[in-house]
Every structure is written in structure tokens, then in C-alpha cells.
Structure 1
Amino acid sequence: MIKFLFFLFFLFNNAYSQTLTGKVTDSLDNPLESANVIAKPLQQNASIKFAIADNKGRYKLELEKDVRYEIRVSYIGFVEETFIYEPNSEIKTYDFKLKPTGIDLKEVIINHKYEPIVIKKDTLVYDVKAFTTGNERKLKDQLEKLPGVEVDKDGGVTVQGKRVTKFLVENKSFFGGGTKLGVENIPADAVDKVEVIDNFNEVGFLKQVSDSEDLAMNIKLKEDKKKFVFGDVEAGAGNDSYHLLHAALFYYSPKTNLSFIGDINNIGKQTFTFQDLMRFQGGVSSFISGRKSLTNLYSFTSENKDVVENKSQFAALNFSHELSTKLDVSGFALFSKLFTATQNETALEYLQTETLETRTQNGNNRSLLGLGNVKLDYTPNKDEKWYYNAQYQSSANDAFSLLNSVSLNNQNTFETLREADNSSVKQYTEWHKSISKNHTTTLVVNHAYENNVPQNQWLTNQPFLAGLIPLEEDENYQIAQLKKVKSNSVDALFKHYWILNNFNHIYTNVGNNFGTTALQTSERQFLSNGTINDFAENGFGNDIDYRLNDAFVGIEYKFKIGKWTNKPGIYGHWYQLKTKQFEQDVMHSTFLLQPQFNSEYEFNQSESLRFNYRLVNQFPEASQLAERFTLQSYNSVFRGNALLNNERYHSAMLNYSKMSMYRGLMVNAFANWNKKVRTLRNTVELDGINQFTMPILTDNPETNFRVGGSVSKKIYRFNLRLNTSLSWFDYIQEVNGIETANSRNNQNIGVELRTAHKSWPFVKVGFTKGFNTFSGITSSKFETNQFSAEIDHEIIKNISFKADYEAFTNLNFTNPNTFFEIANASVTYQKKNSPFGFEFMVSNLLNNQTINQNSFSDFLISEQTTFILPRIFQFVVRYKL
């Protein structure tokens, strides 16, 4: 079979194309890496071909037969050379030897008629028209056709295996820098070029000294889209009152940019991802890390199609304006209103007690979110930069669930009501100054305030958590819980960059992180006779004031030896942790050294190896130190531990990347290793399905090791991609007073084949095999098979067909196997020059009712069945501005 496939590839290749290879060198035979090789057809109905020379100067062109080409080679600082390639030529190799221009310029501008890809030191520029057909609707459709670019179903973008963390349009941050809103809303016909910038830094003069891990994608618009409104509006209606209204409107001018995205739907369309929301709710300087938000906003971005009902309203506005040549203002605002209804059935096995539980749960959730952010960018001169950013956020969550739990001879039905009102204010100021050629300074001050008031109620007609909560006998049981959490933090950092010479830098850091949390909890039982049973008399109810101060000083030495760059560093941290609970103070003070080491070896411009290591100390949060009981759920009680101290772990990461246009090969690989030598882990006591947990600090080691990567190879007009992700996690868990060595192993290996020719239909098929094992008190194992396929094709002029299919199989070795499949399809009619477009689409084409998932934790194995939205037909009318 494999031999037959290779025979077909060979047959196609010889029937429709011919290959020209060679080298690009200078007059001394030194290879010119990243030289552009452009083959322009000298007749109609043929496409331009291109190649980028690799680190050895090699190039490869796949040329069409019976076509005459003008091949042009260019490289900065050298004179262009051209070569006429005759149709069906016998020439198979041709070397280009470029002559220097003899002009030494600091900046050279080269005007080519065509450059499909330009590769610089850390920038990759795609000319999208080289890879697209013109039938694409959104930026996402274009990105999926660019070599080395992947777009996942949540709108996340990776380039050569590295995830895009900053998203820009015309060099301006787009909706906080998240990718989803951009890739799914920017019209394809507005995009001219896509720039990918590694080691991105907003401050230009910091780029040579600040080792940023950010990968930015900057969208360059066509000239005719920069001075007027563009975008599209669409409306759809379908069966059973399903509907969709969506607008994406943009205005770009030299001084003012505006973007609006609005969406109303009840079809489970996910407007933005949890990662984007985390960016929206950030409001924290990128120089400050380690602050955790107390607000849980996951309900706004959960997979909204895994529900039985969904109603969503969303609006977002992004703006930027140049107030003067020195001052810019930018920001965004968003509003979200979401209602979801869920239905789940779960089978659980508690490993220690060998208890089985079956849960049936129905629930709904109503969520409101409002958020506003404004940023001032002040540049008094080319050597100084100021930023001020302020953000306000408010959210409200109301949830109701009806849970039926059956275990042994017990059957309980619980009604759970949850309400949470949350608000936060976050702001930061940054100052950056280039004092001289060799000295640069950064000062950052960050402030954040959060106020969260979650309330929970449990209602049932049966007693529960016997022996763990002090229930009084009653006809019906109503338990109310109130939490109040206020947190404040102020962080300051002063950083100085000293460039000794081109090969040696010294960076000094001085800073202080100060945070406080006031946490109060209370649980009470409301009796039928009107009296109240306050659990505080039985060890419940917390009132803790928490303060953690981290004063630190550090030095980093960056040096370069040939192609090898290293940056060892050492930080001294003076931690002071103080807690006050019921008039009892606990104070802990310690000085800790935390080394780190970063290293990169650059084989050439398209191949590198990176290594990062650091020693981390992490202190417990206020909830972990609260020493009285807290009711967590209908079968779980938690108690903190006031005597906890910091946990310590080693973290190391190794990354390898290689891109060879000559071989059509892209390789990305990683290995992550984390080892905890002092560990915070919850001990668990089980009684049937009831759980009591408490954190303890131990010297038991925990090791987490992950390796993975992908290899992509272009074979004729196809791209073949292999990817894998392997993880091993070993730790010790205490359950019912018994310590057990546990191991969780997960391996996923996948293969994907897609077409890679702009005139062919876009077809992608993939298969992923997963292996999941757990060993501890008992052993568990299951496997997964996932098959996926996509097609996007203009079947006849102006009519496009798009479909995707996914089949998922759980192979469980103790229970029956489960299988589900999901398919979606659409047909679009759009004339090239018409503003109107029409689409008929079907989601959940096979009308699958449920999806199934298997998982395991420290002490239980679960199999969950989730009910989902039914088949939905929709007719959509679209108008393009």
C-alpha cells in the first residue's frame, strides 16, 4: 500500500511538474541563507512559484511543465540575478552566484513585484495572495493555508509549533491581543500581509536586551481598507427558533482605529475563548507575573455546544487614537450575557472504598460580564516610553442545578443555588528609558483590587455528609454558605540593563511584591421552625487576614559565544508571610535563593535549540491556610492548614525548532520536566462517597515529565504532519491514612494529511490515538481513537462547500466502549463583486444526542455522558460593507 502511494506521488509529480534545484552563493561561494527565489511564468494561466534558500544556500522549485519562467534571485546587499527557464527544459540544477552591490547601507528597501515569503532574523512575512484563492471569508480561512501556521477550533494560532501570544492589526493591539476575535472576524479581502514576529517587544529599544517569549502576529491591511469602514453583517434563522445575528465592523485610518464585534445567537456559537478572556481580565503589566485572579469566569467561555440550551449576547468595541505625535490612547470594552442549560450523567468509582456512584444532573447558568480597559502610550522622545493602563471589571453569575446521587443504599436529590457578584480594579504604570547606548532602565508599578462575594445554597430532603457537618434533624434540609473575599496587591520592579559589549550584558533587578487577602466564610442551616443552626459552633466559619510580602534582588549575566547565547541568573527573595485568625497571629520569614538559567544555540536562521531552567518557591494561598472547616459540595468538606509553608520545585524546558523550505520540512519538539522536592498536596479521607480533604506539606517528590512535538513534510502537493504528546506524572497521595505511589501516563500520537495547492480543494484528514493509564491503589486504562476530516471547495463558480467531521471512540477495558461522531456542513453562494452572500448550514448534521468522556483523578474514575444541542438548520444572509 505504501509503495503504491509513493508510486502515485511519483506519477503525479512527473505528469504535472518538473523540479529545479540549486544553490545561491556569493562570489566567494558562501551560501546566502534566506535568499528569495521567484519563478514568474511568462504566459497566462500559470502561477508564480517561489522558494527560500536554506542555511546551505540550497533551493528547490516545483515548476509546471510546458511553462516558460523568468527566475529571479535577490538578497539584501547583492545584485539581482535572473535566469530564463525554457518549457520542458533538460536543466535540473542551476546555481546562482550573486555579486555584492558595493554599497553599505544601514537600511535597504527592495521593491520586488512579488515576494510570497520574506524571512528575517526573527520576522516571517507572508503575502497571503500567494497561498489563497480569493474565496476565503475570514482571516482564519487564510491562515489555515499558510505554511507552518495552524488554527485550532478555539481560535488559537500556532506558527511553526509556537503559540501566538500577541495579536496586532496595523501594529496596534487588537482586543487585548487575543487571537480568536481577530481570526474569526477580520474579513479575508481586507488582509494584505501577515507578519509573524518572534521575541516581540512593544518597546523598540528594549528588544536587544529584553528576552521576550512572546510571538506576535501583525495583520497588514490593504491600502484601500485603511481609510473607510469595512466588515460584514449576517443574519440567520433556522428550525425550532434557532437564530444568529452577527456583525464585525472596522474602521482604520492613520490616526483613528475602531473595531466593533456584536453577536446574538442560541446555537452554541463560542464568541471568544477562556484564554482570550484571561487576557481581557488581566490588566497586569507583562513584567509582573505570578498573580492569580480570584474571579472564576470560565462559564463565559466554556464549550457552549456541550449544552442542551444556549442563549448568548455579546458586544465588544476596540479603539485607538493618536492624540498627538507623542501620545496615543487605546482600549476596549466588552459586554457578555449568557444563559446555558446542561444535562449530564456520570458514573464514578471511588478507588479506595470501591464505592460506585451514579449522578444525574440538570442545571442552568446565567452570567453577566462588563469590562472596560484604557491604555495611554506616551513617547516624549525616541529614548523614553511611558504606559498607563487601567481596567474595571464586573460580573454576576447565577446558577441552579438539580442533582440526583445514587450510591450503595443511599439516594439523595440536591437543589443547588449559586450566586456570585465579582468586581475588580487593576492598573499599572511602566517607564522605560534608554539612558545611553549601553544603559537602559525599566520601572513598573502594578496595583490590583478584587472583591468577590459568592453565595451557595444546598436543599435536600435527606441528611448528608453524616459525621462531617453538624446537621439538625428536619423534614427538609437547607444549608446556606456565604463567602467574602477581598484581595489587594501592589507590585514594583526596577530593572537595569547594562550592555558591556555586543557579547556581554548584565541585568540587575530590584523589586517588591505585596499582597493581602481577607477571607470570611460561614455556613448555616435554616430549620423549618424558623430557627438557625450556625455551624460556627462546630468548627465551621473562617475569618483570616493574609499578608505575603516578597522583597527580591537579582542579577542576570547574558553572554554569547559564537552561535551560543547563555543567561544564568540568581535571585534572592526575602519572604514574609503573616496570617491572623481569631486573634491568633502566625508569622513566617525566610530568605531563599532561586537560580535560573536560559540558553539558546542557533544553528542557523531557521534552526535553533533552547533550554530554560529555574528553581521556584510557591507559598500557599489564604484558603489553604484557613484552619476551620468549609463546605465545598454535597459530598465534600475542606479544612485548611495554618502551619503550611512554601513548596519548592525545579522546572526545566527544552525546545527544538527547524524550518527548511528546501526540503519542505518543519520540525518542532519539546521536553518539559518539573520536580517538586517540597509538595503541597491534599490528604483525603473517604467514607463511601463523602470526602474530607486537608492540605499538608511533605518532602514526598513529585515528577512531571512531558515530551512532544510535530514533524511536517511537504510531499508533492500535500502536507503530511506527525504529532505526538507524551506525559508521565508520578506522585504520592495519602487516602484514608495510607500513602500510595501513583502514576498517571498519557500518550497521544497523531497523523494528518492535507492538500497544499491553492487551486486544489482544501482537504484535511487526521487520526489521533490516545493511551491513558493510572496506577495506584488500583489500575485503570483506557484508549481513545479520534478521526477528523475537513473539506473546503468551490464546487462551481461562486458556490463553495465546506464540511467537517469528527468521530471519537473511548476504548474502556472495564466498561463498554463508547462512540460519538459530530459533523457540520455548509453551502455558500457569493459573487466576487457582490456585497450579498447566502449560506445554508447544518450543525450536528448526524443529530448526535450525547458525547462521552472518560477521566481519572487521585481517588476516583469517572465516565461522563453530556447531552448536546440537536441538529440545527440555518439559512444565513450576509452583507459585506
Structure 2
Amino acid sequence: MRIILLFFLFSVYSFSQTTTITGIVSDTLNKPLENANIIANPFDTKVQLKFAIADNKGRYRLELEKEVKYKVTVSYIGYKEESLVIEPNSSLTSHNFVLKSTGQQLKEIVIKHEYKPVVIKKDTMTFTIKSFANGNERKMKEILEKLPGVEVDKKGTVTVQGKKVTKMLVEGKSFFGGGSKLAVENIPADALDKIEVIDHFNEVGFMKKVSDSEDLAMNVKLKADKKNFIFGDVEAGAEIANDNGFYLAHTGLFYYSPKTNLSFIGDSNNIGKSTFTFDDLMRFDGGFSSFLSGRKPLTNLMLFSTDNTDVLENKSNFSAINSSFELSKKLSINSYGIFSKGITKKIIENNNQYILNDNSIFEISNHQRNNRSTLGIINTKLDYSPSKNEKWFYNFQWQANNNKGNSQLSSITNNNSSLFETINKADNTSIKQYIEWHKSINNSHTTTLVVNNSFEKSTPSTQWNTNQQFLAGFIPLENDSFYKVLQNKKVENHTVDALFKHYWLFNNFNHLYTVLGNNFGKAKLRTHEEQLLTDGTINDFSNKGFGNAITYLLNDSYLGLEYKFKIGKWTNKPGIYFHQYHLKTEQNETNSIDTFLIQPQFNSDYEFSQAENVSFNYKLNNSFAEVSQYANQYTLQNYNLVFKGNALLKNEQFHNAGLRYVKSNMYRGIMLNAFVNYSKKTKTIRNQVQLAGINQFITPVVTNNPETTWRIVGSLSKKIYRFTLKFTPNFNWFEYIQTVNNITETVERNNQNLGFSAKTSYKKWPDFEVGYKKGFNQFKSQTHSSFQTDEFNAQVVIPFQKSFVFKFEYEKFKNSSSNQKNYFDLANTSLSYQKKNSPLRIEIFANNLFNTKIKVNNSFSDYLISNQRTFILPRLIMLNLSYKL
């Protein structure tokens, strides 16, 4: 409360020292000039420049210091500049600018001025960094958070006016596959000159007019003095309190020249810090052309991408190198290599309630897991342009990872107690490659050809050790004094995908696209389970319904037609795709399916202005299950779960529709992004469940029972004086039909979240942000369950004495249901010291300041209600030194 009151008093004082000028920018015909730039240049060089951008009605708003003299200049494409001098303590509060045409038709905005804070073209917005930075920023992330309409979350995901950045570039070149976190957390802030935000991005220039890309790219322009020599920083930290042995070492080194770009990032720590996000890792894992829908990866890479603070122990080593070489004007090569190794120890306690038809079974479990994971990726991409109207790409990727784990589980139920040890390991390798060819034949005809090829292999093995029989009646155990069950798997996937697309442009308002393609996939799955008896003999499960040996082949040949037409500001693209599917599975019996399916789709977009548009998308999809779901023998999946596939599965079919509305108004300080999505499955693959106590038997079936999902997501921010207020609602409704123990019921799973936040947006103030989120969760089936969540967070960044910066972050989480309440709070803080223009920075920081021991979470599923307690890293206090090159 004291902090809020202090900021209120400070704001009252600050408002009294400023004045606001509003008005309209128009031409001589009284037509408003949208996106006109209004720049107030102070005569006093110690005062910061002010700027504004006119909205779609030509309105602008400038906030100026009262006692400063300004020259206000207005610029717009094809018009002569107009200027106005505002004297100190002027009483002027409104002024309209009328610009005269130059008579020239320019293709882009050119502002002749020493500063260009924001320049807006049709699909590109450029920010000049020195107009927003105050010199205290260390990394690119801190710069982006000060740009209007730009946000960076804790995972390094960047959004601009509510839209996610999907491609990160530095000097026009892809930065480590285009992921955002490696860039925003490693590129030094003082290396940035400009930030370009490019909507509808396509790396093939002549394809942009036909590709309908939804990618949003962010291109980093470096300062001239950061080119042609190495820059970056190195840092090291060690614990200065307690004796947990915490440490941190990190480096980011960069070299950029016109023809050669090199980047290296290295990190080693045991404080739970992850270097990249799952989105970044999925981009590295992809290896597929963006023109073809990516297939699901064979291996689970989540272990390499999450911040492992929810563990008791963590050791992480990471290194990555990115290189780009321009071999000639026509040929360039871009490569990156990734190596990651992690060792973690995790403890989770669960209070589980298994919901049966007539009663419930309660289980208390304690799960301790040690895991060791290693990952290596090498990716190389060739870019060849034989002419300005032709482009070739070739991409090759090799990946290997190894996972080893050992876990101990104690399970106590109403009438039983068990101890389990699980030992597992998996070796996974993959080779992926694709080739792309694009050709602009003339102004009316353009073609694209893409071929993907991939091979993946995985060999996981698991051993369960326990002191007594388990899954009685589900697995064929023989009596023994101690029980050991071993499972070996082998999975191979081979895919070849090809696509040819022709773009026929009748004129600027009518296009016809023709698509011809084929997706081929072949998979082999082998599973084997056996019991290792203490007398040295083996109880083989193969003769008792276990053990799978299946070959799976799925081919999808398709022809598609898309017609794109534009009427004024309204753009539509209806389409229809004809698919011929052939599915064949060979195991102890052979089954095949041949089916012809029609899949319509429709896209529509209406652009009210450059800052406001609404779009609608609809698509009918069909999909087939993966190989494991067709394997018709039993497979042991967990200490209390047996799975059996279904060789007779057919395709799922679902309708998907989405409506999005986006509006930004810098005059009123409003950013609005709203999205509504509706999905309905008419043919559904859903697991049928048999429960016996805590033991579960699951098998998938195809039904005509509908599944319906509604999702509403919104973000509304409003700037009021020196503050930005934000409201983020999120609503989800999910209804489906589930069969448990031969009883079929309708299930409803709903949740609603309402988020509110406020932060300062004035360079002379400390950065202060406070937020609150309220969540409601409901589950309705055989039983009713609900719980609520409350999340409060606050953070402040206070520079003082020119060389010091204090940071504090606080988060409190509360989880409450009808019979219990749980909460935990976390706090991190730091104090850093760095003299201006000094390369050395000293920091003391503390994570988990209150030494919180556990995090709590509630969840529910079709037959399970769970309260989970996760043990986390203890408080750590470290001294960190960093040196800027």
C-alpha cells in the first residue's frame, strides 16, 4: 500500500509538470492522414524527444514538458512537412495540421529528421531504439518491454499488438532457427539500433503477394560500431550464503559482418535456469518445410526446455553456435549446432481420488525421480537464388538424444501399500531433410515445389521393480519373493511428403491457387514384456496377449483448389481439398482402409484500417491415429496402467472455426486483441477406461459422440497518463462423452480466468507492475468438482545513484476447493552496480527469497481428482560478475 501511495503522489507531481496537446492531421481536402508522424524535438538537448502517430481518424496526442521549448514537425508520405514551435509554459492545448501534397507518389514513408522513433509502412513497423532506451537495459528483452504494443513473457515469447512473433532475425538472417528466447535473453541491449516488425513475413520476397503467410517476424538491426568485431558478454556467479554449491556461468558472443555472421551461447548452472523454451526447441526439432504441416516428433523434448526450478536438484549444461556465410551473391549457408545436458532430481506428492461408479478409492503417493538427459542437434540450410525470380532451399538436420531415469514410488491406498522402483532409458535419433523450389514465371504465374523426407528411430526400455504383485488380473505375473518386469520397445518412422502449388493471379483482386500433394508415412512398432524371476527363469508375456509387432502405412493423396478475391477492404479465400486416404496395418492380422474425403475451408478478412481488422477462418479436418493406437496386443505403460490398441480405428473428423478482432489506437492508447475459437468433433477417437481400484485398463474406440470446445481469449490494454492498464480474460468450455467401467456419461470441463494488471509507462519513473488473476475451474461427470485459484504478482525496477539498479519480483498463488486451501509465495530480488560506460557489472541476487519448500496444484480428469505437492529448489543467494566485450 505504501508503494502504491508513493507512486500516486509522484504521479500527481509529474502531471503538474506536463501539458497535453491534441489535434488532427489532415490534407487540404480535410481527409485524415492515418499514421502521420508527429515529432516534438526539444531545443534543450538534455530533454528527451517526444513523438506520436496519428490514428485512422488523423488524431494525435502529445505529452510535453511544460518548461521546455519544442519544435513539432509533422511528416507524411507524399506531403510537405509542417512545423510548429511551442514556447515554454505555453497555454496551447490543441492544434490541427493541414499538409499540402508534394504531387509525388512515394512508395514508402520517409521522415527527414534526426530521430525516427516509429516508422510505419503497410506491413512493417520500425522502432528506433535510442528513442525508448534509458541506458540501464542489459539485454534485448528489457528494450522490447519499453516499445509500444510489444510484450515479452517470462518464457521469452514476444508479442506485438497481441500477435506472437514467430520468426526472429538479426540483420535479416535467421537467429538459431528463428526462436525468440535465445535472442531476447542474450543479445546485448547496447548493440541494438532498430527493431523491425514485419507482418505476413515470407523469406522469399516474390512469394509474399501469394503465400498468405501469418508469420510475424522481428528483425534486429545492429549499431554500426557492433559490426565487424566480436561483442557480447561473459558472466559467472557463485553462492555466497549457505553451502548448496549453487553456481552460474554464461556467455553470449556475436560477430556480424556483411558476409559472415557468428553467434555462440554457452551456459552452465544448477539453479534451474533453462536457456530456451519449448517453442524454440520445437523449432530446432522441426526440420520440416513451413509449406507442409509438421509431423509430430517421435521423442518428448520437454525435459530440455522447461525452467527446472520445480526440482530439488538441477544441473544444466548448454552450448549453441549459429553461423551464416554468404558464399556468393546467389548462394548462402546458415547452420546451427545445439548441445544440452541436464541432470535433475524431483519429488512430487499426490493425494489422488479415483472416482468409481459406486464409491471412490483414495491413494497417497510419493514419487522421487532422478533423470539424466543429453541432446545434440546439427542443422544446415542452403539458400540459392539463381535469379531474382527463383529461389531454392535445402535443409538437413541430424538429431540424437539420450534419456536415463530412475524413480522410486510409494503408493498407499485404502487397503494396500506398495513400493516401486522404475528404471528407464531411451536412445533416439533422427535425420530430416527437405528441398524447396519457388519460381515466379511472370506477373500472373508463380509455382512452389516442396519435398520432405525424415527417418526417426527410438529404442526405449523400462524395468519395474516392486516388493509385491501389481496390476493383478491385468498382467500375467507369476508368484515370487520380488517382482521384476522388463519392457523393450523399438519404434521407427519414415515419412516422405511432397507438394506442388501453382498461383494464378488474374489481377490484383482475383487469384486461383491449385495444390497437388502426397503424404506418405510408414512406421514400425515392436514391444516385448517379460518377468525376470529370482530363480533366473523368465516369464515371457508374449503368449499371454502382450507383445506387439505392427507395421503401419498411411498414404494421403490430395488435390486442392483455393480462390482468393478482394472486394474493397474485404478479402476472402474459399477452398476445397479432395483427399484419398489409404491406411494399412500388418500385425497378427492385416487391416486396410481406403476412403475418399472432402475437406472444405474458408478464410475471410476485413481491414477497417491498418490498425483495425477482423478475420474469420473455418476448416474441416480429418486425421488418423498413430501406430501405437492400432497395436492390438497389451502394453504395460505404468505401474497401474495397461493399454491395448484397436486395429479397427478409423479417422477422426472435426470442424474448426475461429474469429479474431485486432485494434490498436495510439491516440487513445488502446490495444485490443480478441479471439473466439469453436471446435466440434463429429467422429471421435476416445479411450474407454476400466478401473479396478487404482489400476486402469485403457483402449481407444471410434464413436460418433460429439466433442465440443469453445475458447475465448482477449487482451485489452489502455494507457492512462503514465500507466498502462491491462485486462486479459480467458474462457474455456469442453464437453465430451466418456465411458468408464461400461457406464457412458457426458463430461464437462470448464475454466474461466480473469487477469488484471497495471504498470508504469514513463521513462523518468521506476518500472513498476502489479497484477492479479482469478481462476474458476469446474468438472462435472459422475461427480462434481470445482476449485478456484488466485494469483498475485508484482515487480519493480528502481535505478538510483546513476550506477545502481534494484529489482524485486513477488508472486503469490492460492488454490482453494470446498474442503481445503493451499497457497505458496515466491520472491526474487537483485541489486546490481555498473558505472556508465564501464564493461564490468556486479550483481547480488536471491531466488526463492522466502525459502518456500513446495508448490501446490489441483487438477481433475475423467476419473481422477488430484492434489499435487511439488518440492522446489531452496533459497539461493549469489554474487554475479559480468563483463561486456
User: TM class, shorter-chain normalised?
Assistant: over 0.9
Give the secondary structure class of the aligned counterpart of 2:211.
coil
| CA-CA distance at 1:795 after TM superposition | 2.1
| CA-CA distance at 1:473 after TM superposition | 0.3
CA distance in 1, matches of 2:111, 2:824: 54
State the partner residue of 1:798. Answer: 803
CA distance in 2, matches of 1:10, 1:276: 40
What amino acid does structure 2 have at the position aligned with 1:99?
K
Matches within 5 A, 1:430-441: 430-441=436-447
Q: 1:703 to 1:54 in 2, by over 3 A?
A: same
Give the secondary structure class of the aligned counterpart of 1:176.
helix
Residues 858-877 of structure 1: CA deviation (Å, up to 9, x unaligned): 11011110000101111111
Q: Is the 8 A contact 2:564 2:573 kept in 1?
A: yes
Residue number among 462, 470, 476 corresponding to 2:468 in the alignment: 462
Q: Is the 8 A contact 1:373 1:391 kept in 2?
A: yes
What amino acid does structure 1 have at the position aligned with 2:592?
M
| CA-CA distance at 1:44 after TM superposition | 4.2
| CA-CA distance at 1:13 after TM superposition | 6.7
Alignment partner of 1:37 is 2:38: yes
Alignment partner of 1:699 is 2:717: no
Residues 483-537 of structure 1: CA deviation (Å, up to 9, x unaligned): 1000000000000111111111110000000000000101000001111101111
| CA-CA distance at 1:303 after TM superposition | 3.0
Unaligned runs of 5+ in 1: none
Give the secondary structure class of the aligned counterpart of 2:519.
strand
Matches within 5 A, 1:54-69: 54-69=55-70
Residue number among 624, 629, 641 corresponding to 2:629 in the alignment: 624
Alignment partner of 1:310 is 2:302: no
State the partner residue of 1:164. Answer: 165
| CA-CA distance at 1:660 after TM superposition | 0.4
What amino acid does structure 2 have at the position aligned with 1:718?
F
State the partner residue of 2:733. Answer: 728
Q: Is the 8 A contact 1:13 1:716 kept in 2?
A: no
State the partner residue of 1:833. Answer: 837
CA distance in 1, matches of 2:723, 2:360: 51
State the partner residue of 2:655. Answer: 650
CA distance in 2, matches of 1:802, 1:267: 18
CA distance in 1, matches of 2:557, 2:127: 45
Residue number among 829, 846, 862 corresponding to 2:866 in the alignment: 862
| CA-CA distance at 1:67 after TM superposition | 1.5
| CA-CA distance at 1:242 after TM superposition | 0.8
CA distance in 1, matches of 2:11, 2:404: 62
Alignment partner of 1:375 is 2:381: yes
Residue number among 362, 368, 377 corresponding to 2:368 in the alignment: 362
| CA-CA distance at 1:8 after TM superposition | 7.3
State the partner residue of 2:282. Answer: 278
CA distance in 2, matches of 1:786, 1:33: 40
What amino acid does structure 1 have at the position aligned with 2:407?
S
| CA-CA distance at 1:162 after TM superposition | 1.1
| CA-CA distance at 1:668 after TM superposition | 0.6
State the partner residue of 1:138. Answer: 139
CA distance in 2, matches of 1:345, 1:6: 42
Alignment partner of 1:99 is 2:103: no
| CA-CA distance at 1:110 after TM superposition | 3.7
| CA-CA distance at 1:198 after TM superposition | 1.1
Count of paired positions: 877
Give the secondary structure class of the aligned counterpart of 1:533.
strand
Q: Is the 8 A contact 1:498 1:506 kept in 2?
A: yes
Alignment partner of 1:517 is 2:518: no
Residues 384-434 of structure 1: CA deviation (Å, up to 9, x unaligned): 000000000000000000000001111010000010000000000000000
Alignment partner of 1:17 is 2:18: yes
Q: Is the 8 A contact 1:675 1:703 kept in 2?
A: yes
Alignment partner of 1:292 is 2:296: yes
| CA-CA distance at 1:302 after TM superposition | 2.7
Q: Is the 8 A contact 1:474 1:527 kept in 2?
A: yes
CA distance in 2, matches of 1:150, 1:179: 12
TM-score (norm 2): 0.98
Q: Is the 8 A contact 1:9 1:716 kept in 2?
A: no
CA distance in 2, matches of 1:623, 1:580: 13
Q: Is the 8 A contact 2:124 2:199 kept in 1?
A: yes
What amino acid does structure 1 have at the position aligned with 2:280?
D
State the partner residue of 1:499. Answer: 505
Matches within 5 A, 1:542-561: 542-561=548-567
Once the two structures are aligned, what percentage of the paired residues are identical? 58
| CA-CA distance at 1:145 after TM superposition | 1.4
State the partner residue of 1:716. Answer: 721
Give the secondary structure class of the aligned counterpart of 2:329.
coil
CA distance in 2, matches of 1:85, 1:252: 43
| CA-CA distance at 1:66 after TM superposition | 1.6
State the partner residue of 2:271. Answer: 267
Matches within 5 A, 1:180-195: 180-195=181-196
CA distance in 1, matches of 2:495, 2:547: 25
Cα RMSD over matched residues?
1.4
| CA-CA distance at 1:7 after TM superposition | 9.9
Matches within 5 A, 1:119-134: 119-134=120-135
What amino acid does structure 2 have at the position aligned with 1:525?
Q
What amino acid does structure 1 have at the position aligned with 2:224?
E
What amino acid does structure 2 have at the position aligned with 1:26?
D
Q: Is the 8 A contact 1:749 1:769 kept in 2?
A: yes
What amino acid does structure 1 have at the position aligned with 2:493?
S
What amino acid does structure 2 have at the position aligned with 1:528?
T
| CA-CA distance at 1:128 after TM superposition | 2.0
Matches within 5 A, 1:285-684: 285-352=289-356, 353-582=359-588, 584-684=589-689
CA distance in 1, matches of 2:626, 2:34: 52
State the partner residue of 1:744. Answer: 749
Residues 597-639 of structure 1: CA deviation (Å, up to 9, x unaligned): 0010000000010111100001111101100100000000000
CA distance in 1, matches of 2:88, 2:728: 39
State the partner residue of 1:48. Answer: 49
Give the secondary structure class of the aligned counterpart of 1:468.
coil
What amino acid does structure 2 have at the position aligned with 1:414?
F
Q: Is the 8 A contact 2:77 2:106 kept in 1?
A: no
Unaligned runs of 5+ in 2: none
Q: Is the 8 A contact 1:826 1:840 kept in 2?
A: yes
Q: Is the 8 A contact 2:108 2:121 kept in 1?
A: no
Q: Is the 8 A contact 2:420 2:464 kept in 1?
A: yes
CA distance in 2, matches of 1:633, 1:40: 68
